[in-house]
Structure 1
């Protein structure tokens, strides 16, 4: 069986690569010999990390766009199933996108799949907030055109019509390494992403103030870079580390540091993440993977998806608004560290939701394979 996957992969955002790896793993759990072609903005990097066939996104205004259209159409026709997502792939606008964003491109991809006779489904998808009436109508059409829609959350599902299912974040289905007994003492990790200048300044003050207090209380800390911004403006976490945290925290390694295939490097990264007794994070998947491992975690909701995920996991007390101050963040961190049983229960919810996501993928693959 050959499966196509369309999404924002290859830009060296570890969260996106975790999503892709989890989806590939979930398909292969049903069809061990499945092959893949991934359509992304950075196909060479995707091939390097995941060892799969790749194609460029079928954009209309890039150099050689007509040739891309032919290659994409041929690749889609070779697939028995085309999957949109996972991740926040449906965006009308963002800090780096103007209206109408990605929606016309995804509508075009679906049309190309229809022409090729290839069924389309959406898996673990999210919709960025702030859409227009026109965008909402187009999303409803996407829901009607898809064989099935597995949405990340209730808000996203509502955009696609009554047939959409909530399957959770696709990262929840990621097989986790054995981390029993992982403990390195009083150690914490901080994930921070670049944000708009006004928002970033106050949040840096809060996170650095909290981190400094933890260190004075005897904790050791590391900065957890989750994105290197390959081809994406304002997405390199190392920039904010150099600007605000170099003298305070050590820089942790990530599976994206070298050219090692992601599958092996990711297991080592997860085992290292599990040795923390606390994670503070603005990056969604730094926070979610820590929770999946049972690590007490305080998330900072720079976007609604972060807030919604923590509420769904029963962790509403541990998600802060971006205007949080250092004292409030430290208080939340202290509560989290003292609530290990609550985070073990949340890890159980992650595992249960992961089984829902896996069942969705399994049903799709068996239906068409």
Structure 2
């Protein structure tokens, strides 16, 4: 069986690379002999990193040729069908699906988070494309409702984010081992986001209070140089000492750094997921509905939204102190919650395999 994977791959975004690793791992567990080709922005790197075939996602003749020979297309995971960050994503990913359908190949939408989809044209393209696929799995109820609202009439199944299925028990970080912290630390994942609210100052105020209370602060950039820049910006705004982990740490190392912390304060979705799979308590800071959705799934607090001025640094500090005091019970509850989700995440791969038989 030969499966083609389409997603935001090869862009050095650790969240999306973790999704790719998770899907490949789950597919190989479900069907060890499966042949996988990834549509990537950096085919050579993707092929080397994951031991797969890869073609340039922008060379549509090559994409069409590999789809013609394949048994089917997986679209996802991640937040591919949205027009929040630009108008090109939906036409591109729907275009790949339409190429697969042109070659009469089955399409499996894999654990995607949908939206926001603001423009009527974006809604039209999404609706007409998804109504032609074989199976749709999405990662939260809000995504399902959005598709229903814009007119998608296919059956949909809500499943966990693929990364939930990763087994991180054997992961380690040489960088973290070299730090030799005398006490525990709080990990922090931030990203830049346009907002009239000075949310960065709110975060800095809470981190300074936590540092004065004896906690080490470690920023963990999730999207290499982009988040590294934001992390250094906040670190430089702090009055107290903090540390910024290298942006080019591997997926496994970033999972380890977050997983071995006492608490995560995170904006990036996959920082929250990395935290959950290691049963590390987290506090979410939202910029997108997907953050709210996962915080709800994991039963962890969402302190506020970066575009709303209804929270402050002292509230974030107080919530962190409360959670650190209840850390053991929170960890146990997270562990039990994630065990169920991990089994469900593997089932998504089995569903995909069945679709292509």
CA shift for structure 1 position 318: 4.0
CA distance in 1, matches of 2:297, 2:234: 32
Work out whether 1:277 is the aligned partner of 2:262.
yes
Is 1:242 equivalent to 2:250 in the alignment? no
Alignment of 1:1-369 (within 5 A): 1-58=1-58, 68-94=59-85, 97=86, 99=87, 101-158=88-145, 159=147, 160-177=152-169, 185-196=183-194, 198-199=196-197, 202-228=198-224, 236-246=226-236, 248-253=241-246, 256-257=248-249, 265-315=250-300, 317-322=301-306, 323=309, 324-340=311-327, 341-369=329-357
Displacement of 1:364 in angstroms is 2.2
The two structures, once aligned, show a CA RMSD in angstroms of: 2.3
Could you tell me how far apart the structure 2 residues matched to 1:49 and 1:367 are?
27
Partners of 1:172 and 1:351 within 8 A in 2:
no
Q: Which runs of 5+ in 2 are unaligned?
A: 172-176
2: distance between equivalents of 1:243 and 1:6? 33
Distance in 2 separating the partners of 1:197 and 1:311:
24
Can you list the C-alpha shifts for 1:186-221, whole angstroms capped at 9, x where unaligned? Answer: 31111111111634xx22211111111111111111
- Structure 1: state its 5+ residue gaps: 59-67, 230-235, 258-264
* Distance across 2 between alignment mates of 1:343 and 1:23: 26
State the distance in 2 between where 1:197 and 1:43 align.
35
Count of aligned residue pairs for this structure pair: 337
Question: How many angstroms does 1:92 deviate by?
Answer: 2.3
User: In 2, distance between residues paired with 1:141 and 1:347?
Assistant: 40
- For the residue of structure 2 that corresponds to 1:188, the secondary structure is strand
Quick one: structure 1 residues 320 and 197, their matched pair in 2 at CA, closer, same or farther if it must change by over 3 Å? Answer: closer
Local SS of the residue matching 2:113: strand
Deviations 1:103-148, CA, capped at 9 Å, x for gaps? 2222322221122232111001112214233433332323321111
Quote the Cα distance in structure 2 between the aligned partners of 1:291 and 1:310: 10
Tell me if structure 1 keeps the 8 A contact 2:108–2:134.
yes
Compute the TM-score of the two structures, normalised by the length of structure 1.
Answer: 0.84
Matched position secondary structure for 1:291 = helix
Using the size of structure 2 for normalisation, the TM-score is 0.87
SS in 2 for 1:118: coil
- SS in structure 2 at match of 1:91: coil
Post-superposition offset of 1:367: 4.4
Contact 1:177 1:270 in 2 (8 A): no
CA deviation after TM superposition for structure 1 residue 162, in Å: 4.8
Moved over 3 A (4+): 182-185, 265-269
Q: Measure how far apart 1:227 and its partner are.
A: 0.5
Question: Cα distance, 1:22 vs. partner?
Answer: 0.3
* 1:310–1:319 Cα contact (<8 Å) kept: no
Other structure's SS at 2:274 match: helix
Distance 1:270 1:103, change over 3 A: closer
Name the CA shift for 1:223/1:365 in 2 (closer, same or farther; >3 Å). same
Encode CA deviations 1:23-66: one digit per residue, 9 max, x unaligned: 000100011122211113333332343232222224xxxxxxxx
Secondary structure of 1:82 counterpart: strand
Q: Give, in whole Å, the separation in 2 of the partners of 1:198 and 1:318.
A: 20
1:168–1:368: structure 2 CA closer, same or farther, 3 Å change rule? same
- By how many angstroms is 1:351 displaced? 2.9
